[in-house]
Amino acid sequence: MPGNVWLLVANKDNWLRCQEAGLWGLEQKRGQISQARIGDRIVAYISGEAIIAGIGEITSEGFVDRSSVWKDRVYPYRWRIRIELDFANAIDIRQLVQNLSAFTVKDRFSVHLRAGVLRLGPEDFELIATRLTQKKSLAAKKQVVEASMTTDVRQEVQDIPELQTGTFHDRIAEMLYLVGLQIGYDSRQRYKVIPTSPYEFDVAWLDKGGPHVAVEVQDGGNLMEALERLRHARDFNFRKVVLVLANKAELERTRKILQFDEKLKHWIDIWSPESVLRLYRHCVSFHGLLQPFEKSTYREEPGVELT
Q: Is the model's pLDDT at 186 over the cut of 90?
A: yes
Q: Is the model's pLDDT at 297 over the cut of 50?
A: yes
Q: What is the pLDDT of residue 307?
A: 44
Q: What is the pLDDT of residue 293?
A: 63
Mean pLDDT of the 243-271 span: 89
How far apart are alpha carbons 81 and 70 in whole angstroms?
A: 15
Q: What is the pLDDT of residue 28?
A: 86
* Residue 20 contacts residue 71 (beta carbons within 8 Å): no
Give the single-character DSSP code of 248: G
pTM over 0.85, yes/no: no
Could you tell me which of 31, 17, 6, 120 has the C-alpha nearest to residue 75?
17
Q: What is the pLDDT of residue 1?
A: 45
Mean pLDDT in the chain? 88
More confident position, 299 or 280: 280
Q: What is the pLDDT of residue 88?
A: 86
Q: Is the model's pLDDT at 299 over the cut of 60?
A: no
To 5 degrees, how large is the angle CA 86–CA 266–CA 232?
Answer: 110
Mean pLDDT of the 94-120 span: 91
**Least trusted range by pLDDT, from 149-158, 161-170, 253-262:** 149-158
Domains in the chain, please, with CATH? 5-135 (3.10.590.10), 168-294 (3.40.1350)
To 5 degrees, how large is the angle CA 272–CA 273–CA 275?
Answer: 65
How far apart are alpha carbons 276 and 157 in whole angstroms?
A: 10
Q: Is the model's pLDDT at 147 over the cut of 80?
A: no
